[in-house]
Each structure stands twice: as C-alpha cells, then as structure tokens.
Amino acid sequence: MKQTLLVELLTEELPPKALVKLGETFAAAVFNGLAGRAFLEPDAVATSFATPRRLAVSISGVRAASPDKQIREKVLPVSVALDKEGQASPPLLKKLAVLAQQAGCASIALAELERASDGKAEAFFFTYTAPGQALALGLQATLEESIAKLPIPKLMSYQRPDGSTVQFVRPVHGLIALHGEQVVPVALLGLAAGKQTLGHRFLCERPQLTITAPEHYASILESQGKVIANASQRKEAIRTALLAKAGADQILMPESLLDEVSALVEWPVVYECHFDEEFLSVPQECLILTMQTNQKYFALTDAAGKLRSRFLIVSNIATDNPRHIIEGNQRVVRPRLSDAKFFFEQDQKKKLGDRLSGLASVVYHNKLGSQAERNARIVALAGNIAGDIGANAPMAQRAAQLSKADLLTDMVGEFPELQGIMGTYYARHDGEQDEVAIAISEHYQPRFAGDALPATATGTVVALADKLETLIGIWGIGLAPTGDKDPFALRRHALGILRMLVEKRLPLSLSHCLAQTAQQFAGNANFTDPSADVLTFLYDRLRGLLRERGYAPDAIDAVVAQQPQRLDDIIERLDAVKAFAALPESQSLAAANKRITNILKKNEAAHGEVQAALLSVAAEQRLFGAIADTRVEVDRAFAAGDFSATLQALAALRDDVDAFFNDVMVMDENLALRANRLALLHSLHGMMNRVADISKLAA
C-alpha cells in the first residue's frame, strides 16, 4: 500500500543563513535514501518544509514495504566448493548454511546451485528471493544517513532528559514520522516518532498540534499553529507584504536579506518604522548597510532613489497594537545610525591625502609588502595605462593615489563593504576633482558578475591598474587559483579586465599590460614573473565570457586561437566569422585551411617568396593569380577594419584551392618545386587567417 510520508524534526531556532540549504538537503537526502531502498513509486514527489524551528519533508507515493528482490549470489569457485570426490567441501557447507539463513529456508542442496563461469573460472551461484523490507527499517536507516549528510559546519552537543548526549545543529524536541495516518516506529536523536508538533511560540493557542495525515501538515500548521511551513511561500508572502506597505516608495529588497528574514520568522508581519530626519545628512549607503546588515530592516527610497526616513521591519508577531514593536525597533536602530553619523563626521576632519602615510603600516601581503607599496605600483600603472589610451595621466595617478586611503577611515573600518564609496564622499568633501572622486569608487568595478563597468575614463584606468596589480602580484608569489579555490578572486579580476578591454574597446595589448605590471615588482625576491601563464588564463576566461554572450564555440576558437593581443575589435571578428561560416564556400575553405595548417606544421622551414617561373601545373598557376587578385581586396578591407568583407573575399578562392589539392602534388620529389609550393601555401595560409583561424570551422 502506498501513502504519503511526513517526517518532521522540531528544533530550537536554526541558523537563519543556513536554513534553506538545511531544509533542501534534508528533503533530498530522505527522498534519495528511500528511493535507493525501493520504497518510492516512480511518480513520487518530495516537498520540503523549513521554518526557524523545524525541518520537514513530505513525500508522496511511499510504499509500506519495499518489493521482494531476486538475488543471484556467487557462492564459491567450483575448485573450492568440491573435494576430490566431487562432494561438497566444508567451506561450501558453511557458506550454504549462511545463505540458507539469508534466504529464509531450512537448507540448500548442492543440486540447487547453478554452475556457471564468473568470467575467470567456473563457480557455483545460488538464486533466491529476498523478502521486502518494512518501511520502519528503511526509514530508520535513511534518517540516520540523512542527518549525517546535512551541511552543518559545527555540531551542538546537548543532553536529552534521560541523560544521554546527542549532537545536532540545534537541540531537537520532537519527531514526526507519519505514513498515511499511521506513525512509523522509528527513533532519532533520542526521540521516538509520533504525530504531535508545536505551532508558533506566541500566537498558537494550543499546547500541541496533532497532524492527522501528511497531506494536512501545512494547512494544520497555518490555520491552527500560525506557521507558514513552506520556506518559499513564506518568503513570497514577505515580499508581497513589503511591496504593499512600501506604497509609492521604492523598497531595497536584496534576495539575500529576504532569505535571511524569512528564516527568522514563522508568521511574518510587516510594520512601518521611522528614524530622525537628521540622519539623512549621512551618506545613504551607510544607513542602508547598517539597517540591512545589523538590523535586517528594509530601507525605502523615493522615485529618484533618495533614502526616506521610513523603513520596514518583518516581525514574527501579529498584533492589533504594534506600537511597542515599532517603538522598540526605532529605539534599537537609533544607536546604529548615530554611530554612522559620528564616523562620517569624524572622518571628514582628516583629508584622504593626509591618511596616505598610514598605508605603510597596513600589510597587503607579507610577500608583497604594505598597502603603501601596493598603492605606489597602482599609481605607476595608472599613469602608464592612461598614456596608452590617451586618458588624463595626472588625474588617473591622483585617483590611484587616493584609491585606498579610505581603508583607514572609521566608517570603512566598521563597514568594509563601503570601501571606495566612502572614498568618493570624502574626496568630494576635500575638494578633489569630481572625476578623481568618482574613480575612487569606480576602481572596484565590476565587483561581481554582471556589475556595471566604470563610467569614467579615470575610473577605468585605475580599475585596470588595480586588477592587473592584483592578478600579476598574487599569481607571481605562487597563489594562482586552483580548482574551485580562488581566495583572492583572481578569476573575477581577470573577467573585469577582459570586460573593460572588450566593452570599452580599449586599444591595449594584453602582453604589454602584463609586462608593464610585472615590472612594478622588480626587485621583489618573492616574485616570479607569471605573465605567460596569466595570458593563457586570460584567454581561457575570454572563451567563457564569449560563450556566455551566445557566440558559437567554433567561432570563439577561431578568433581566440590567434591569441589576439588587442580585444577592442574582437566582437567584429566574431561577427565576421559568423557571417563567413554561413557562406556555402566556408566549409570547403575551412577544410583546406586545416589541411594547409597540418602540412606547414610538418614543414616548418622558412618559406621564401613564390617563384612564378617554378609554377608548372595549371592549377597552381591559377591559384597564384587568384591569391594576388584577392589579396588586394583582403588588404583593403582589413585595413578598413571590415573583417566581414575580409573573410568574404576569400570565398572567391574556393574553386582554385580545391583544384590545387586535386591536381598538384605539394610534396614533390623535386625539392625546388616542393619549396615553391610550400611557399605558395604559406602565402595563402597567412591571408586566410588574418581575421581568425578558419580551420577551426571545419566540421
């Protein structure tokens, strides 16, 4: 008989940041454990529940017992099972006695055994039907496995009333195991299964709730216990309530904050609170961060994005008179905002420029020196990069010089997430040029995948300098990313560099940038120039970046295989390759190019000029002439940056290239003819691959 199964662990308050993961892992582990033991119907479905005080899973289509299973078991090799007279040996008799017990029969005769090869030698096999296992046994083993698999960083040891000590993420006070309307007799963490649970700590009027059937679990908890058991439903209820309460204002509602708040409450209610208008003189990023990080509040802005003095809280208490809840939260947030205001006012008493000397006492990395030394490298790089792209070098160097100064401010000391942002505010207060001030925050961009790039030229220059210094410096002391470990976020820095070069079309050479950066570490005995490895790493990241933008892998390979030093025209090259690949001539030319590549690899001697007088076969003469004619169009289009026209001009060569390979023996015994034909192919190969390596398009 199949029924729905419910399992619930009733706990003390679980870690909010881990709740969703705990709930999902617990549900998946129970489902997979039962599935592996053949207790589930093919259409069985698991539903996860997680609140601050419980982990639960409901699974439909669970059998009361697993089906019988036919087992074919190897007994012993014939050479061991029979004695010299062909009778059962003592080892065989002993093995048969054990098997008989497993199979539930009195005894097993030699005649009942199957004699067959095991792939190496003849052996005896016995086939029997093992009876199915009761759900209680399967669920007991599954639950023990499941709690062992939970992602719990640190277990808590606690005593049960009987004096026994158990371990779990938080103390567990109740266990439900209900199959249909019947309790499954299992035990876990010192608790025997039942069908009772608890509702909301304050809002539930009953001392206990009885779950009559698994299908009623969520509805009983909600209607009688004032608990929304499903984590995603609770989160969406909070989102809806926040939006309704916000009204015309915009609500700052990061998903991470929503997840955390929904893991703190079982019956969410949204209330509106206010803080004093005087705090709005503080940069709103500071106020927003302290409200979100320390208090788990939701800030509001007007339509223009300016912070309002009203904010929203999510409470676990529903009441007709929330005055005490509102006043309590307003009273709690005030000291936090006062601290932010104090830090801001104190920081402004000292200019950023006056803080620079303090960077010498801040260690960046013990093998790379202090933040002051790092700052000097970034300043030098910013000047070089600005000169290379025609930006304002003095402005870029000033922004680079001040870029890390806010690390020494009280505000950033309290809220490290505000580094750069506070530097912009303080630089403006100090009277720095606005682009310098903006660059201080922009140089951290992009901070994450999909983040905006710096908008100003100065911000772009300093961002490149900062990321190049980190990438080369950290890699150069032997801390390259490995596998899934990247503690210095070098992958993110590499993607930031690539995005700026590609999206802002910066005329910078990758190798030149890396070499300039490596020069900044000259004299450091801990540093080994990693430019070659970093360049390979950047090309690998570039392939991934372009795949995410929808370009075909073969087109990406064709372009990146050329290891382009500048990336400002890479999109045009990719689009040109895409257009070329659509031509009917492309596959034939790509295959020919691949063939030429292989021939030239095997014959790497220097290729001279083609001698027209040595072209003895009509097909090679025609190809020579076609190359000369096509080169004019290819050179003109390439010089104009028209990569599509460059590649499409090659289409005219298809018939002549095909004829050449049909009629001409490249590796002729005559060494002069062979060298001349290799020179002809070398000339063709260079012209065909100016935009991309089109051999990568060959099917």
Residues 132-188 have pLDDT tens digits of 889 999 999 999 999 999 998 789 999 988 888 999 999 999 999 999 999 999 999
**Helix 570-581 to helix 531-548 angle, to the nearest 10 degrees?**
60
**Which of 82-96, 575-589, 604-618 bottoms out in mean pLDDT, i.e. has the lowest?**
604-618
Asked whether residue 558 is domain-assigned, the answer is no
- Residue 288 near residue 252, CB atoms below 8 Å: yes
For tokens 């509702």, the residue is: 199
Average pLDDT of span 404-410 = 97
What lies within 8 Å, CB to CB, of 107 at 6+ separation is 96, 97, 100
- Whether the per-residue pLDDT at 606 is higher than 80: the answer is no
Q: DSSP assignment, residue 183? A: E
**Residue 565, in any domain of the structure:** no
Q: Could you tell me if 114 and 235 lie in one domain?
A: no
Boundary of a domain, candidates 79, 101, 130: 130
With 80 as the cut, is the pLDDT of residue 604 above it? no
Closest by Cα among 189, 194, 191 to 177: 194
| pLDDT exceeds cutoff 70 at 605 | no
Do 153 and 250 lie in a common domain? no
The distance from CA 412 to its chain's CA centroid, rounded to whole angstroms, is 27
Average pLDDT over residues 377-396: 97
Q: Is 365 exposed, middle or buried (0-12, 13-18, 19+ CB in 10 A)?
A: middle
Cα 45 to Cα 2: distance, rounded to the nearest angstrom = 13
* pLDDT > 60? residue 367: yes
Q: 111 and 74 in one domain?
A: yes
Domain co-membership, 57 together with 109: no
Do 539 and 678 fall within a single domain? no
Q: Are 387 and 467 contained in the same domain?
A: yes
Pull the structure tokens for residue 197.
Answer: 């649970």
Strand pairing category for 46-51 and 69-77: unpaired
- Determine the Cα–Cα distance for residues 405 and 408; give it in Å rounded to an integer: 6
Q: 206 and 335 share a domain?
A: no
Q: How far is CA 524 from CA 64, 234, 239, 443, in A?
A: 70, 56, 53, 25
Question: Any idea what the CATH number is for the domain that residue 368 is in?
Answer: 1.10.3210
Range of the domain at 261: 231-347
Residue 303 in any domain: the answer is yes
Question: What does the H/E/C string look like for 415-468?
Answer: CHHHCCHHHHHHHHHCCCCHHHHHHHHHCCCCCCCCCCCCCCHHHHHHHHHHHH
pLDDT at 212: 95
Q: What is the mean pLDDT of the chain?
A: 94
Tens digit of each residue's pLDDT (9 = 90 or more) over 107-129: 888 888 999 998 889 999 998 88
Query: Which candidate, 279, 281, 286, places its Cα nearest to that of 409?
Result: 286
Mark whether 113 and 43 lie in a shared domain: no
Report the pLDDT value the prediction gives residue 128, as an integer from 0 to 100. Answer: 86
Per-residue pLDDT reduced to its tens digit, 430-449: 999 999 999 999 999 999 88
Distance CA(13)–CA(194), nearest Å, equals: 21
Among 441, 456, 688, CA closest to 588: 688
The answer, yes or no, to whether residue 1 has pLDDT greater than 80, is no
Whether 557 is in a domain gets the answer no
Residues 61 and 79 in one domain: no
Same domain, 316 and 436: no
Scored b (16 or more CB within 10 A) or e, 6-26 reads bbbbbbeebebebbbebbbbb
564: in domain: no
> H or E stretch including 70?
strand 69-77
Q: Could you tell me which of 523, 519, 499 has the C-alpha nearest to residue 511?
A: 519
CATH code at position 585? 1.10.730.10
Q: Are both 119 and 22 inside the same structural domain?
A: no
pLDDT (0 to 100) of residue 104: 80
The answer on pLDDT for 608 being more than 70 is yes
Task: Provide, rounded to the nearest whole percent, the portion of the chain with pLDDT above 70.
Answer: 100
Q: Cβ contacts of residue 400 below 8 Å, gap of 6+?
A: 375, 378, 379, 381, 382, 443, 461, 462, 465, 466
Tell which residue, 499, 498, 531, has the closest CA to residue 512: 531
* 353 within some domain: no
pLDDT in tens, 66-100: 998 888 889 999 989 999 888 999 999 999 998 88
How far apart CA 527 and CA 83 sit, in angstroms, is: 73
Pair (682, 580) in one structural domain: yes
Contact indicator for 135, 39 with CB cutoff of 8 Å: yes
φ and ψ at residue 55, rounded to 5 degrees: -120, 130
CA distances for 538 relative to 402, 471, 565, 695, angstroms: 28, 10, 11, 22
Number of domains the chain contains? 5
Judge whether 312 and 298 are in contact, CB under 8 Å.
Answer: yes
Looking at 70-84, 485-499, 592-606, 645-659, which range is the least confident one?
Answer: 592-606
Residue 474 lies in a domain: yes
Q: How far is CA 164 from the centre of its chain?
A: 42
Domain stop point among 194, 225, 256: 225
Residues 684 and 657 sit within 8 Å (Cβ to Cβ): yes
Q: For residue 699, is pLDDT > 80? A: no
CB 81, CB 114: distance < 8 Å: no
Residue 569: exposure state from Cβ atoms within 10 A (0-12, 13-18, ≥19) = middle
Name the H helices within 610-670.
618-639, 643-648, 654-663
Cα–Cα dist 273/320, whole Å: 16
Q: Does position 330 have pLDDT exceeding 70, yes or no?
A: yes
Alpha carbons 380 and 76: distance in angstroms, whole number? 77
User: In this predicted model, what pLDDT tens digit does every residue of 186-238 receive, in sequence order?
Assistant: 999 999 999 999 999 999 999 999 999 999 999 999 999 999 999 999 999 99
Which positions ≥6 away from 283 have C-beta within 8 Å? 344, 421, 422, 425
Q: In the chain, what's the furthest Cα-to-Cα distance?
A: 106
Quick one: average pLDDT of 238-247? Answer: 97
pTM: 0.79
pLDDT at 284: 96
Q: State the CB neighbour count (10 A cutoff) for residue 586.
A: 21
Would 562 be classed as within a structural domain?
no
Q: Which of 130, 156, 173 is the last residue of a domain?
A: 130
Structure tokens at 616: 């003895």
Taking residue 204's Cβ as centre, other Cβ atoms within 10 Å add up to 18
What does the alpha-carbon distance between residue 453 and residue 569 come to, in Å, rounded to a whole number? 18
